[in-house]
Structure 1
Amino acid sequence: MDIEIINIDGSRARLRYGGHEFGCALGKAGITAAKREGDHATPAGRFPLRKLYYRPDKFNSPPECRLPVEEMDPLDGWCDAPDHTLYNQYVRLPFSASHEQLWRTDDVYDLLVVLGYNDDPVIPGAGSCIFMHVAREGYVPTEGCVALQKDDLLLLLAALEERTAIHIPEP
């Protein structure tokens, strides 16, 4: 069973999985079928959920989840430099090329699910760092990710099946 993005209104939508339905934030530029690095859009398509990273300093134990689960640490990053050989891949910090730091001072990446977007194969410039993560207050738009309130994301993670994918419809 797939996670479905429905009732899309710009950068806001609903996410439905089984009997659950939650509000979510999308990219500032909405959804696109032609994702490019830095376009602030959420890519359209069907993407597997690869892995959950979580902040062990924010949770007493790993969140309930059937995905592979890994503790995050302050040296975790994700390369967003299209000209680098590790583009759209996990990296360890310090890292010389442009990258996203996963251990953040805000709560946005306390729970971070890597979406299988542009990773098999990686196409330089087609977009990187596409995650499902914790939404900011008021569902502030993302840079291209899908974001849910923390309690909703925890409920969703506990309900997921191993081979769940997310379906984001074309605009």
Structure 2
Amino acid sequence: MLSRQQVLVVADQGTDNKGQMFCYQKNGGKWYKTCSDIPVVLGRNGLNKQKEGDQKSPSGIFKLARAFGYSPEAPAGVSMPWVALKTSSLCIDDPGSKYYNQIVDSRDENIIADWKSAEKMRRDVYDQDNLYEFGLIPEVSSEIGSCIFIHVWRGEDKPTVGCTAMSREKILELIQWLSPGMSPVIIQGDKEQIQNLQKNGFLQYHNVPD
């Protein structure tokens, strides 16, 4: 099924670590803008992620299939499949592991730990912050890096190490708006990349920001 919900993240240039988010939904054969000019922060070194550790956010079109957070149950209004993070939840960032770029429960007896490094997902417990209180998991290729999320920001002037982040209020609104039945995707890039996608027919609407 073709996507009928698209989240567009645009930066002025590929080296920028700030951008704007726009939301579009297709109803009755027409696209409508449902959110506009939402501030986001990107990787410290901008866009066009190429490898693990380059502190860039990925550019391209990525499916949005799952949401996650600290709550055992999905918040009210959320229909996306929900990954409830536990104190034992890890995102594996060791390229040598068969679980690379996956969120696993380290207490699961069926999982044999073969990794040398991993990120603890319950940041409220281990890092005393709310960055992963709400988040989304874009389906980004493991070839360019791991544990790339959309999540709560530290602040509008504090870039990430490769994720896309926004205010707690806006990420919750985004998760509540998304519907798995509409095959949502996120599209990220600088203005030139987004304009090229539009010219090549990947964006079906015509009010992409200049």
Alignment TM-score > 0.5, same fold: yes
Q: Show structure 2 runs of 5+ residues with no match.
A: 24-32, 108-112, 194-210
1:98 paired residue among 117, 142, 153? 117
Instruction: Compute the RMSD of aligned alpha carbons.
Output: 2.0
2:78 paired residue among 65, 73, 80? 65
- Normalized per residue, the structure richer in helix is 2
- For 1:18-37, list aligned pairs within 5 A: 18-21=33-36, 22-32=38-48, 34-37=49-52
In the alignment, the residues of structure 1 paired with residue 90 and residue 102 of structure 2 have an alpha-carbon distance, to the nearest angstrom, of 9
Is 2:3 the partner of 1:3?
no
Greater RCO between the two (CA within 8 Å, min separation 6)?
A: 1
- For 1:123-138, list aligned pairs within 5 A: 123=143, 126-138=144-156
Larger Rg: 2
Residues 13-38 of structure 1: per-residue CA shift (max 9 Å, x gap): 00100321211010001001x52000
**Aligned pair in 2 of structure 1 residues 63, 142: CA closer, same or farther (>3 Å)?**
farther
Is 2:161 the partner of 1:143?
yes
TM-score normalised by structure 1 residue count: 0.86
* Alpha-carbon distance, 1:2 to partner: 1.0
Q: Share of identical aligned residues, percent? A: 25
Is 2:70 the partner of 1:84?
no
In the alignment, the residues of structure 2 paired with residue 19 and residue 160 of structure 1 have an alpha-carbon distance, to the nearest angstrom, of 11
* Alpha-carbon distance, 1:53 to partner: 1.1
